[in-house]
Chain A
Amino acid sequence: MIELTEVRKVFNQGQPNECPAVRSISLTLARGGLTVFKGPSGSGKTTLLTLVGGLARPTSGRITLEGRLLSNLPERFLTEVRRHTFGFVFQQFNLIHGLSVLENVMLPAYPLGRQHRALVNAARELLDRFGLGAKAASRVEWLSGGEAQRTALARALINDPAVIIADEPTANLDSALSRDVLTLLGELAAQNRTVLMSSHDPRVFESVRVNRVIELHDGRIVEDRSC
């Protein structure tokens, strides 16, 4: 369970260009299920996801994971939590060019020092599961948008995280590919993983696979409904 209490995030605090992105949000996210954060651009969706995923620290407030306070953990411990608990999928895919699909999927596990053969097997298994087995040796810049996003999803799962954080994962995909990605995320949620995603696409937050929709405006929650 992830709990946010009075979380605020202000960029450039104290500067003339100070920008409050998240304003005093309190929220409880139960284990499992697919939660979508919706809202227009600049509403604070992405910032909130980065705070939950430990990619950035809140300006004030508390974030706890299974009762453990994350928001004031030193960087090293926060990374440790992040690499074991969270898997990230980004709008721009953020795959590393010049490396193969297989290598990209294995990357998050490198610092863990897992045995090479076991790691390769785990990565291949994920690629097979997402229909990318034949592309394992291809360089990622040769992939289509859908293939790239599925590769990113496989990469997010390589360390077997309990929480998947996906920021606008369908924004760069056509309808059919968006549906595929949503299906995959829904399946992960059904396997008792917590899937948190942001989107402003109605096809996503109106999907039957979504369990909860939280709407944000100007850094505040304006609606929170279960589906």
Chain B
Amino acid sequence: MRLWFERQKYLIDYTLAALLRRKTRNLGLLLVYTLLVFLFAAVLLLSQGLRREAATLLQDAPEVIVQKLSAGRHDLLPAAWLETLRRIRGVSSVQGRLWGYYYDPAVKANYTLMVAPERNLATDEIVIGAALARIRQINTGDYLGLRAANGQPLPLKITGVLESASELLSADLLLLSETGFRRLFELPADVYTDAVLTVRNPREAHTVAQKIALALPASRPILRAEILRTYDAVFNWREGLLFLTLGALLLAFLILAWDKAAGLSAEEKREIGILKAIGWETGDILRMKLWEGALISLTAFLAGYTLAYWQVFHGGARLFAPVLKGWAVLYPEFRLTPAVDGQQVLVLLAVTVLPYIVATLIPGWRAAIADPDAVMRG
């Protein structure tokens, strides 16, 4: 065993010296390689972090949401439906919700408006999301002027700003009272945007949804699990879009790496010939090349992954956040909970490290299996 370690030590020594002799070339390669790993790891870590964050936040979401459909589109839900829903077996509570969107031409952004009965807000009081407060440069105590559906200005007093821990979903949120909401959009008192239900046994949510569809044929029940799946699909789609772009980059890098690693220079071939002539066997050359590939690719992998980890979890993920967080104008600002997924690391290793090691091994093997007598001929 000691012999094995000693041999590996010598091989690593030689490999490091060989890499340092071609400093510029190898440093350039290492930089490009690190950048590539960084980009891939940043997308993976960010999208996975967002998914986890969304799942955590949606844990408290209602089990079932009921919407009314009209000609296949979301319509306002009549208040009378709430009673019908309450009578369905298995439903423990029903609440009508009021929410909608408001386009603010001043900042060219859409706000999400929502009635929050638990906050007991007065008609002219609102609570706003942190991103909204940032972009409008307003805070508690200030007034925000919105234009009502009848064209009249509606000044609303800010009584609070939502904390940034929940900013993923509340960045552009504006909470107001039911009367304030109805006045802003001129909504009659007997309609709601949708209804939220809790069920006695969450495992029966699916059955309850079927009963709702039967009782109210114009309704669309949405389960929490479906929302989570939709979030997943959206992130997968955005992640896929980025990977497609990065895929081209990966291909370009593989061509570069193959060219650099696979195309042994005349000097490298000569060195392999000398090493064989003085007593190194093909296996020793292959081990040396394996170390070379491993040292470069693992250094790049560690550096790239560490940089990505820092960027995503401590640097605000500024690089890909606009694409992965959403297309909204008001981007949320929040810190993701640091987490590393072992399987993801393995996949990234397989995609970035293995091809490079193979690219260094094959030409080394081809040069090493030749008889070393060429070296005698100078």
Query: Which A positions have Cβ atoms within 8 angstroms of B?
Result: 46-47, 49-50, 55-57, 75-76, 79-80, 82-83, 88, 90-92, 94, 96-99, 103, 107-108, 110-116, 155-156, 159, 167
Q: How far is the CA of A51 from the CA of B261 in the complex (A)?
A: 32
B271 at the interface (CB under 8 A from A): yes
Q: What are 21 contact pairs spanning A and B, CB under 8 A?
A: A46-B377, A50-B371, A55-B277, A55-B373, A55-B376, A56-B371, A75-B282, A76-B283, A83-B281, A96-B274, A97-B21, A99-B17, A108-B279, A108-B280, A110-B11, A110-B13, A111-B10, A113-B4, A113-B7, A155-B278, A156-B278
* Bound complex: CA A56 to CA B281 (Å): 13
Q: Give the total of B residues in contact with A, Cβ under 8 Å.
A: 37
The proximity string for B residues 353-378 relative to A, scoring 1 for CB distances below 8 Å and 0 otherwise, is: 00000000000000001011101111
When distances are taken between beta carbons in the complex, the residues of chain B under 8 Å from A92 are 378
Chain B residues whose C-beta falls within 8 Å of the C-beta of A98 in the assembled complex: 17-18, 20-21
Contact across chains for A90 and B284 when beta carbons are under 8 A apart: no
Q: Which of A56, A91, A110 has the most CB of B within 10 A?
A: A110
Complex-state Cα separation, A90 to B270, whole angstroms: 13
Tell me if A113 and B6 are in contact (CB < 8 A).
Answer: yes
B251 within 8 A of A: no
Are B9 and A83 in contact, with the CB atoms below 8 A?
no
With A79-B276, A94-B274, A116-B6 given, can you name 14 additional A-B contacts, CB distance below 8 Å? A50-B373, A50-B376, A56-B373, A79-B279, A83-B279, A83-B281, A88-B376, A90-B376, A96-B271, A108-B279, A113-B6, A113-B7, A155-B278, A156-B278
Taken together as a complex, chains A and B put the C-alpha atoms of A80 and B375 apart, in Å, by 19
Chain B residues with CB under 8 A of A159: 279
| The one of B267, B271, B281, B376 that contacts A75, using a Cβ cutoff of 8 Å | B281
CA distance A47 to B282 in the complex (A): 21
* B279 surroundings in chain A (CB, below 8 A): 79, 82-83, 108, 111, 159
